[in-house]
């Protein structure tokens, strides 16, 4: 009888190591240079003798690529459409190559982490070997920002509740961003792609776009607001290091943002959960 744990560990190694996989199929896995123990070699002998080894591994790899591809298409839909032109077979091939690069170690239920790893792979591998469509990196940055935002919700201990403060109390508060807020700066205006969820529909405008994405609670999906220069500056300054009164004086002197205008903006963002006192 073969120890079940040993058999599983050897099986995982066999899946992740293409050289070993080919050697087992060819019956050359007993090369002493590979450094396997006698017990491990016995398990590999059984995999070599089993007629279903090739089918089992290829089927497992195919299904892993299928699942990973579905994850990427779900959380990075525009990025994937740009790379595959919406072709499912192209997505399957890309996901197969991607997961193969990481030795068939997928992230499982950590789907957001899978998307972040793919983002690294896209920049370090795909973009180095092939021409990508215009604005590819901008849409990748946008979708990865949303992934980071969603991932952050797992660490929120207490979700902000709307508060009503008079001017004195609000001015004395150290207002800052809520626990699930992401400021997104893009070099081009991708609103048409964002709204249509399709990078093949709508015109990209040659001007910067600044967005704030936020989640108010686990019962709601994320929301997005477009920020002009004034609101962007306000959100940058409200980092919790100074009171709102201090920030108000700075913004009035530097940018001509009046106190009443600032307080109205802050109250609106407090109500939405973008800011907390």
Domain 152-276 class, CATH top level: alpha beta
d(CA 225, CA 103): 40
Kindly provide the residue ranges of all beta strands, DSSP E only, lying in the chain, ordered along the sequence. 176-177, 181-186, 209-214, 223-226, 275-276
Q: Are 162 and 109 in contact (CB under 8 A)?
A: no
* pLDDT, tens only, 216-245: 998 999 999 999 999 999 999 999 999 999
Res. 162 pLDDT band, cuts 50 70 90: confident
Residue environment code for 144-155, b if the CB has 16+ CB neighbours within 10 A, otherwise e = bbbbbbbbeeee
Sorting pLDDT into bands at 50, 70 and 90, what band is 148? very high
71 contacts: CB under 8 Å, gap ≥ 6: 111, 114, 115
- pLDDT recorded at residue 57: 93
pLDDT of residue 158: 86
CA 217, CA 213: separation in Å to the nearest integer?
Answer: 13
pLDDT band at 38 (very low <50, low <70, confident <90, very high): very high
- Between CA 158 and CA 167, with CA 162 as vertex, the angle to 5 degrees is 125
pLDDT for 110-126, tens place per residue?
999 999 999 999 999 99
Query: Where does the chain hold its CATH 3.90.930.50 domain(s)?
Result: 152-276
259-274 pLDDT per residue, tens: 999 999 999 999 999 9
pLDDT of 160 over the 90 cut: no
Mean pLDDT of 54-82: 95
Please answer whether residues 276 and 270 qualify as being in contact, where contact means their C-beta atoms are separated by less than 8 angstroms.
yes
Quick one: pLDDT at residue 52? 92
């Amino acid at each position: 009888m073969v120890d079940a744990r040993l058999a599983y560990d050897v099986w995982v190694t066999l899946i992740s190591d293409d050289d070993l996989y080919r050697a087992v199929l060819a019956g050359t896995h007993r090369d002493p240079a590979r450094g396997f123990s006698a017990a491990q070699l016995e398990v590999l002998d059984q995999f070599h003798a089993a007629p279903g080894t090739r089918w089992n591994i290829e089927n497992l790899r195919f299904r892993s690529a299928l699942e990973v591809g579905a994850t990427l298409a779900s959380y990075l839909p525009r990025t994937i459409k740009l790379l595959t032109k919406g072709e499912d077979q192209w997505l399957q091939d890309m996901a197969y190559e991607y997961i193969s690069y990481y030795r068939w170690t997928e992230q499982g239920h950590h789907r957001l982490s899978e998307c972040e790893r793919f983002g690294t792979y896209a920049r370090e591998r795909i973009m180095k070997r092939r021409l990508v469509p215009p604005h590819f990196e901008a849409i990748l940055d946008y979708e990865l920002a949303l992934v980071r935002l969603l991932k952050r919700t797992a660490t929120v201990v207490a979700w902000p509740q709307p508060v009503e403060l008079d001017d004195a109390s609000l001015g004395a508060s150290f207002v800052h961003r809520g626990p699930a807020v992401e400021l997104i700066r893009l070099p081009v205006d991708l609103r048409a792609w964002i709204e249509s969820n399709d990078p093949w529909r709508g015109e990209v405008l040659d001007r910067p776009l600044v967005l704030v994405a936020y989640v108010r609670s686990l019962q709601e999906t994320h929301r997005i607001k477009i920020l002009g220069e004034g609101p962007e500056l306000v959100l940058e300054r409200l980092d919790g290091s100074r009171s709102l009164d201090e920030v108000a004086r700075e913004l009035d002197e530097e940018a001509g943002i009046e106190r009443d205008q600032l307080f109205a903006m802050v109250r609106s963002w407090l109500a939405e959960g973008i800011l907390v006192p």
